[in-house]
Amino acid sequence: MGILQEDVVVISKGEKPGESTVITVNCPDKAGLGCDLCRVILLFGLSICKGDGQTDGKWCYIVFWVVGKPSTRWNLLKQRLLEVCPSYFSTSEIDFYKPENQQPRPPDVFLLKFWCSYDYEGLLHDVTEVLCELELTIERVKVSTAPDGRVMDLFYITDTRELLRTKMRQEETIHYLKNVLGKALINCEIELAGPEFTACSQGSPFLPSAITEDMFSLELPNDHRSGFLAHNPVSVTVDNAFSPSHTLVKILCKDHKGLIYDITRTLKDYNIQISYGRFFASRKGNCEVDLFLMQADGKKIVDPNKQNALCSRLRMELLRPLRLAVVSRGPDTELLVANPVELSGRGRPLVFHDITLALKNLNTPIFSVEIGRHVIHDREWEVYRILLEGQLSMGDVRNLVDDPNVEASHAAEFLTVRSTSVLKFHLHQTSPQPSGFLVQSLVDYCSQCFEYLILIPGVFHVSCLKSDLNIFEFGL
């Protein structure tokens, strides 16, 4: 006997402000379900501060404690979580007759094309935020600025609601864009994408060899293979003696946005099932993860080579979930951000949203953007190439924190990077909206090892001096 659909996903909001919201999932199991659930939670901008789940291979019970913004649309979140959960019929022979047993059809890709009469700082982020609110997923972007200052934006998007073919949905999208862009918007059109989308997906065929070698390495440097960086220690250990039927993997690390998604994504790509898992993040940002794992054949992971490969990949994904490089392009700067693509073909959620938010907060104008995919070291990457107007230098960063005109009331603040991880740092600002942050707790370390360190919402930036190339490692 099955359970009612409304009982598959239950969301219980905290009774008091600041309390965690509890999400309970009780449904048939499937390969990669944990990854799919964590992806949806991340897509809604929520952070998982605690988790517990178990499965017998057929049915699973998972509980997430999450924190997020007051504007979270909980009913919509529940609907999206239900969509990734298998139905009760998947555990019975009735599933043979159900059409959902067929391979899902790829979503239609649409071209959102608009011109703006002038550019302004934060334009791209404003557009990206509107598209996220409307549940329109950005697949590719091409943005360019004409000599006369006009901006042409090409967004290749898919619709989670699968309604963008309708006139009403298109008019709704254009209406929201007009509201946010105002008089700057000249023209806006939405049409079904043609063959040009395939060409756009490939991205520029040229990536500098120095960037390719440093950014896309699948192994940690020799001095970091233990997983311990001074600012972000990661410990991954394997124990086959604790359980007669499962391999226990214990992870100790610092929290970051999308941590549980990164772990479950890695295990999904390795086709490894989590039979029982427990996750906890302390208020200081220290995380403990216990996972009882099985291979696809239902056996423990006993091969030392497989154990080492899994531990190495988990350390890498937790230390460098995103790769970032900054390269000087004459008077301008090119920012490159890359994230690994799931074997299912999906990229990491909200990366472009977070990039544009960071640049908006840094008051950095964007000249052009290109998003494409590259296969490097037998792995597919989603690469964001953003040409910025002007240089991002250490002097610019110092100006953000050493301005003598800063009022005393703005000299020190507490900002919550995640509700479960509060960092105290000194913030100096020259305008009502902070444009950059210096994390006081890491200044001493950075002054010895790095050129500078900035904290922007949810992002750690560490710049290492390496000839003319600054390589960053950070967690989003």
Assign 461 a pLDDT band (cuts: 50, 70, 90): very low
pLDDT score recorded for residue 140:
86
Return the residue matching tokens 């972000």: 232
Decide: 240 and 253 in contact? Cβ < 8 Å: no
Q: What is the pTM of this model?
A: 0.76
Q: How far apart are CA 340 and CA 348, in angstroms?
A: 7
**Angle CA 89–95–101, to nearest 5:** 115
Residue 398 scores a pLDDT above 70: no
Segment of 99-103, 247-251, 257-261, 296-300 carrying the highest mean pLDDT: 247-251
Residue 353 scores a pLDDT above 60: yes
Residue 293 scores a pLDDT above 90: yes
Assign 442 a pLDDT band (cuts: 50, 70, 90): very low
Nearest to 392 by CA among 437, 449, 452: 452
Assign 79 a pLDDT band (cuts: 50, 70, 90): very high
pLDDT score recorded for residue 80:
95
Q: How far apart are CA 42 and CA 257, in angstroms?
A: 8
The three-class DSSP label of residue 408 is helix
| Beta bridge pairs of residue 10 | 24
Element (H, E) at 127: helix 123-133
pLDDT score recorded for residue 323:
85
Position with higher pLDDT, 439 vs 148: 148
Distance from the Cα of residue 392 to its chain's centroid: 23
Please give the C-alpha separations between residue 419 and each of 69, 251, 317, 461, 476, in angstroms, as whole numbers.
10, 21, 22, 20, 15
Decide: 470 and 451 in contact? Cβ < 8 Å: yes
Instruction: For the chain, give the percent of residues with pLDDT over 90.
Output: 45
Instruction: For the chain, give the percent of residues with pLDDT over 70.
Output: 70
Residue 164 scores a pLDDT above 80: yes
First CA to last CA distance, the chain: 42
Decide: 162 and 106 in contact? Cβ < 8 Å: no
Per-chain mean pLDDT for the chain: 76
What are the tens digits of pLDDT across the range 197-208? 655 555 555 666
Half-sphere exposure of 400 (CA within 13 A, CB side): 25
- Token pair recorded at residue 437: 């942050």
Q: By CB neighbour count within 10 A (0-12 exposed, 13-18 middle, 19+ buried), where does 155 fall?
A: buried
Distance from the Cα of residue 430 to its chain's centroid: 29
346-356 CB burial, b ≥16 within 10 A, e <16: ebbbbbbbbbb
Distance from the Cα of residue 441 to its chain's centroid: 25
